[in-house]
Amino acid sequence: MNGRRVVVTGMGVVSSLGNDVNKFWNNLVNGISKVDMIKYGFNIDDYPDLMTKFAAEAEPIETDDFHSDKKMIRRFDPFIKYAVYATHYAMIQAGLKDSIAPYEDIRSGVVLASGIGGMHTLMREHSVLQADGPRRVSPFFIPMQIVNMSSGVIGIEYGMRGPNYSVVTACASATHAIGTAYRHIKFNDADLMITGGSEATVNPLSIAGFNNIRALSTNNSNPKSASRPFDKTRDGFVLADGAGVVILEEYEHAKKRGAEILAEIVGYGFTCDSHHITAPLADGSMAARSMSLAIEDCGINKEQVQYINAHGTSTPIGDKGETLAIKNVFGDYAYKLKVNSTKSIAGHSLGATGGIELIATIMSIRNKQLHPTINLHEADPDCDLDYVPNTAIDYNIEYALSNSFGFGGHNASILIKKI
């Protein structure tokens, strides 16, 4: 409850639903999925029939006007490119793109996340090593592959010399990054932070790895229906690429420069299951504590929360555990909450998903609408909350939670307030 107020003044997105926040939102609220057979990541013709052949691939970026060094853009791994692109448009919305000089100091910083980092670069340069030997490996291999380079490149681009690093906690990465950036401002380490996450993992190695731990849906006959969180017939998640980046500022700092304030971050909670490398705790107890800590951080009553943007991956264990976690926190009030899954429409972008879903949550608050959880046709008796099935609804939201949970037992929750 102590500390400075932290607000959101800019948002940028790269996703299968569009690389513009309004286009992303329009597809989301209308339940329009762009999940399809893989077109860009690799040639699926030679891939085994029993393996997943579809994904929510990011809409291609057709421009190079989002970074000052056009030559460097061509060297970026896609996960870096997505982060830089989303940041560019978040900065424009925040009214900062043409005002770089005032932020070239130690009071501004970057905390960006990725679950895996430059896998495209890693695979490409490994092929070069195998075919042509070590001397042919690019000198840009290491800088373009390591996870922290999205934060590093953006810090260089905007002259930000304050806190700058990256977070890696699997699918909780972006939410941890946002929570950490929030705390840097709240406790006076910085006045302005760029934060969120990016991911580019639609490739044969990622697909094979996730298939072989039985995490992905294999519904090749109907890709758009494959992501079905909380449905009885769910069989795994749909892999996605993309980025979600937000600009956080101290409230008075944003007011002084006349920025439009989009929402306020008012709580952050995080825990670890300490249970298993991939499976969550079946009772959802530590996910529940993550949500409770975010609410306690704000100091409100739990009954003031009206909406939860769920992690909602469409995995059998995960959705059941998150439902139990919500009941653990809210008791009977859980049945009065609205809960939905952005991943039902946009897919699961791993370390970027917390940033993308924070943007979805803010747009829900601002537009007084909740997007649907699509493909929810056969109710799972263990998942019995109001998941806003199949059709968007009008809904006025004061407080909302956004959850992200990752392999290794990482749990993170952000509490957002209308402003």
344 and 395, same domain (yes or no): yes
Residue 1 in any domain: the answer is no
What is the reported pLDDT for 102? 53
Q: Which of 311, 371, 383, 410 is catalytic?
A: 311
CATH classification at residue 341: 3.40.47.10
Query: Of 176, 348, 371, 410, which residue is the catalytic one?
Result: 348
66 and 207 together in one domain = yes
Tell me whether residue 120 is one of the annotated catalytic residues: no
pLDDT greater than 90 at residue 97: no
pLDDT of residue 391: 98
- In tens, the pLDDT along 196-221 reads 999 999 999 999 999 999 999 999 99
**58: pLDDT strictly greater than 80:** yes
User: What pTM was estimated for this model as a whole?
Assistant: 0.97
Is 311 designated active site? yes
Whether residues 271 and 248 share a domain: the answer is no
Q: Are residues 171 and 104 in the same domain?
A: yes
Q: Is the residue at 366 inside a domain?
A: yes
Last residue of a domain, one of 263, 296, 325: 263
The predicted pLDDT at position 103 comes to: 59
Confidence of residue 104 (pLDDT cuts 50, 70, 90): low
Q: Is the same domain home to 342 and 397?
A: yes
Determine the structural domain holding residue 398 and report its residue range. Answer: 267-417
Which pLDDT score is estimated for 105?
Answer: 79
pLDDT tens-digit readout, 216-229: 999 999 999 999 99
Last residue of a domain, one of 209, 244, 263: 263
pLDDT mean across residues, the chain: 96
Q: How many domains does the chain have?
A: 2
Q: Is 70 exceeded by the pLDDT of residue 100?
A: no
Indicate whether 315 and 179 sit together in one domain.
Answer: no
pLDDT for 410 beyond 60: yes
171 an active-site residue?
yes
Catalytic residue among 67, 88, 120, 171: 171
Among 245, 263, 281, identify where a domain stops.
Answer: 263
Long-range contacts of 202-205 (CB under 8 A, 24+ apart): 202/38, 202/40, 202/41, 202/42, 202/55, 202/57, 202/239, 202/240, 202/241, 203/41, 203/42, 203/119, 203/120, 203/123, 204/41, 204/42, 204/47, 205/119, 205/123
pLDDT of residue 48: 81
Pair (153, 290) in one structural domain = no
272 shares a domain with 345: yes
Q: How confident is the model at residue 52 (pLDDT cuts 50, 70, 90)?
A: very high
Percent of the chain with pLDDT over 90: 94
pLDDT tens column, 268-310: 999 999 999 999 999 999 999 999 999 999 999 999 999 999 9
244 and 303 housed in the same domain:
no
